[in-house]
Amino acid sequence: MKPEIAEILEWDPVIRADFISIFIGALIDTGLSRTVYGCRTDNSLVIKIERDDYYKQNVAEWLIWDHVAHNEKYSKWFAPCEWLSPNGRVLLQKRTFPIETLPKRLPSYLGDQKPENFGLYKGRVVCHDYGMLWGILNCALK
Ligand SMILES: Nc1ncnc2c1ncn2[C@@H]1O[C@H](COP(=O)(O)OP(=O)(O)O)[C@@H](O)[C@H]1O
Ligand SMILES: [Mg+2]
């Protein structure tokens, strides 16, 4: 941890709360291991907070995005990731909007194909919950 951050953590918890309040917007939804909020400083983003350090879905999503980002054939199916915190517990991802029905055909490597794992982004359907797909994608995208 950077010394300046360690120092801030020693200060009054009210200051920590203030810092958090600057960035965290409204609660969007809660999943298996993450709670997702809007971002007050950039409403094109969501803040995905991994509630404990067991699943590491934020890290997996970040690695998957990094793997596909430069290949449009694959990247068009994923909500882009913008930033991962040094300890992996906070992820900034592009915000998607809920969909009720999925397209008839989706790539099989997108795993569990239920509407809540997908959203609308820039007019197309993308997967926004892909933190469990690391194993499948590692094989499929080679
Ligand atoms: N990029 C996003 N934009 C908008 N809503 C999202 C985004 N990612 C997740 N969500 C919402 O938050 C919920 C929980 O996030 P999810 O990625 O599914 O977490 P978990 O992996 O813990 O299940 C999703 O079901 C969805 O409703
Ligand atoms: Mg989920």
Pocket test for ligand 1, best of 30, 36, 121 (most atoms within 8 A of CB): 36
Query: Residue 135: what pLDDT?
Result: 72
Tokens of 24: 């965290």
pTM listed for this prediction = 0.94
Query: Residue 140: what pLDDT?
Result: 66
Query: Residue 142: what pLDDT?
Result: 61
Owner of token pair 């067991």: 54
Q: CB of 58 closer than 6 A to ligand 1?
A: no
Tokens of 102: 């999925």
Tokens of 60: 């997996």
Query: Residue 111: what pLDDT?
Result: 84
Tokens of 128: 């926004």
User: What CATH superfamily is the domain 3-140?
Assistant: Phosphorylase Kinase; domain 1 (3.30.200.20)
Query: Residue 136: what pLDDT?
Result: 73
Looking at residue 107, its amino acid is P
Closest C-alpha among 139, 100, 135 to residue 120: 100
Beta-carbon contacts of residue 3 (< 8 Å; ≥ 6 apart): none
49 alpha carbon to ligand 1 midpoint, in Å? Answer: 10
36 alpha carbon to ligand 2 midpoint, in Å? Answer: 10
Q: Which residues of the chain have pLDDT under 50?
A: none
Query: Residue 1: what pLDDT?
Result: 85
H helical segments located in the chain? 3-10, 13-23, 57-68, 72-75, 134-140
130 alpha carbon to ligand 1 midpoint, in Å? Answer: 9
Domain boundaries, the chain: 3-140
